Structure 1
Amino acid sequence: MDLKEIQNLIKFVANSGVAEVKLEMDDVKITIRTTLEGNVTEATYVQQVPVQNILPQAAAPQQIAPAAAAPAAEQPAAEQTNNYITIKSPIIGTFYRKPSPDKPMFVEVGKTVAKGDVLCVIEAMKLFNEIESEVSGKIVKILVDDMSPVEFDQPLFLVDPS
């Protein structure tokens, strides 16, 4: 969509008496808002939406140098985490480390947990789901901040089973 077409669209919406029009195409999102008095255009937003095929190619050259140095530094850490068990989120929702704001945290780093102990709650659609430990062991790392959104299968905790 070129500038001439956008200008024609703005004039058409202003003359039509409509208060707001939103138009979304593959690579462009346009919102046109007008006032009711005199049909004067109040605000026009044109937003280019990046095409997914172009974005990864543009980002790839920037990541080449840091990626080469990072694996050497992360290898010892990766070897240490191989002994740990990762507890992942079974659902999408909001991660909470406490049962309520005035209660203490379920677990802290360094705390020993038994299989079946509650580690956190994940709120999904106004339901609070208790996430229990799948193994007995010691909490090594908490990978998600309190009150953060989590995805399905996202790592939440690292547990040392030894």
Structure 2
Amino acid sequence: MDIKEIQNLIKFVAKSGASEVKLEMDDVKITIRTGSDSNDVTYVQQAMPMQAAPMQQQAAPAAAPAAAAPEAAAPAADENSKYVTVKSPIIGTFYRKPSPDKPLFCEVGDSIKVGDTLCIIEAMKLFNEIESEVSGTIVKVLVDDSSPVEFDQPLFLVDPS
């Protein structure tokens, strides 16, 4: 588990309203406490630090291809700059329908207004309806149905005009 995953977990726990979460894996133990007490502390303890070195070696080759990606992404960013990006407010599983036998909340080309439900994100067995904060037309759905999403991950592109 790297520092980015730990930061995302802390943000998720803070937004979920849980007072304490404990996570234990093979080499990491994490306890996150939230609340009004000023004594709240987040503990991160690695049980086997020797396993951290191979993880870093595996991550290093991935950094080289990532450096080339911003050059390829620059033209696409210019095309999408006129659109509003709807992002995930939480970590969870993305669903485009309220249940398997119901129709999609929205499709490409649909007009939406503020407050319309765009999707559901399931987190810890809770289904959170994600509502639109902008009016416009759905231009693109950026995530496949039933796939995991990260905090602040783009979900939809909306044309506000």
What TM bracket, shorter-length normalisation? 0.5 to 0.7
SS at match of 1:78: helix
Aligned to 1:120: 119
In the alignment, structure 1 segments of 5+ residues that lack a partner are: 1-23, 27-47
Q: Structure 1: how far apart are the matches of 2:89 and 2:63?
A: 31
Aligned to 2:146: 147
Residue by residue over 1:36-92, the C-alpha shift from the partner in whole angstroms, topping out at 9 and shown as x without a partner, is: xxxxxxxxxxxx99844554555545654x556544432211111222211112222
Q: Structure 1: how far apart are the matches of 2:50 and 2:101?
A: 44
> In structure 1, what residue type is equivalent to 2:72?
A
Q: By how many angstroms is 1:119 displaced?
A: 0.3
Q: Structure 1: how far apart are the matches of 2:155 and 2:119?
A: 9
Length-normalised TM-score, structure 2 = 0.59
Question: For 1:85-124, what aligned pairs fall within 5 Å after superposition?
Answer: 85-124=84-123
> In structure 2, what residue type is equivalent to 1:77?
A
> In structure 1, what residue type is equivalent to 2:128?
N
Aligned to 1:43: none
Residue identity (%): 68
Q: Structure 2: how far apart are the matches of 1:118 and 1:25?
A: 39
Length-normalised TM-score, structure 1 = 0.58
Q: Compared with structure 1, are the counterparts of its residues 67 and 134 closer, same or farther at alpha carbon in structure 2 (3 Å cutoff)?
A: same
Aligned to 1:79: 78
Size of the aligned set, in residue pairs, is: 118
Q: Compared with structure 1, are the counterparts of its residues 77 and 102 closer, same or farther at alpha carbon in structure 2 (3 Å cutoff)?
A: same
Q: By how many angstroms is 1:93 displaced?
A: 2.1
Q: Compared with structure 1, are the counterparts of its residues 25 and 58 closer, same or farther at alpha carbon in structure 2 (3 Å cutoff)?
A: closer
Aligned to 2:4: none
RMSD: 3.0
> Which structure would you say has the larger Rg?
1
> In structure 1, what residue type is equivalent to 2:102?
K
In the alignment, structure 2 segments of 5+ residues that lack a partner are: 1-24, 28-47
Q: Structure 1: how far apart are the matches of 2:143 and 2:116?
A: 18
Question: For 1:10-89, what aligned pairs fall within 5 Å after superposition?
Answer: 51-52=51-52, 55-56=55-56, 59-60=59-60, 64=64, 66=65, 70-89=69-88
Residue by residue over 1:86-118, the C-alpha shift from the partner in whole angstroms, topping out at 9 and shown as x without a partner, is: 111222222110011111111112222111111
Q: Structure 1: how far apart are the matches of 2:78 and 2:100?
A: 37
SS at match of 1:75: helix
Say if 2:157 is the partner of 1:132: no
Q: Structure 1: how far apart are the matches of 2:61 and 2:125?
A: 43
Q: Compared with structure 1, are the counterparts of its residues 91 and 57 closer, same or farther at alpha carbon in structure 2 (3 Å cutoff)?
A: same
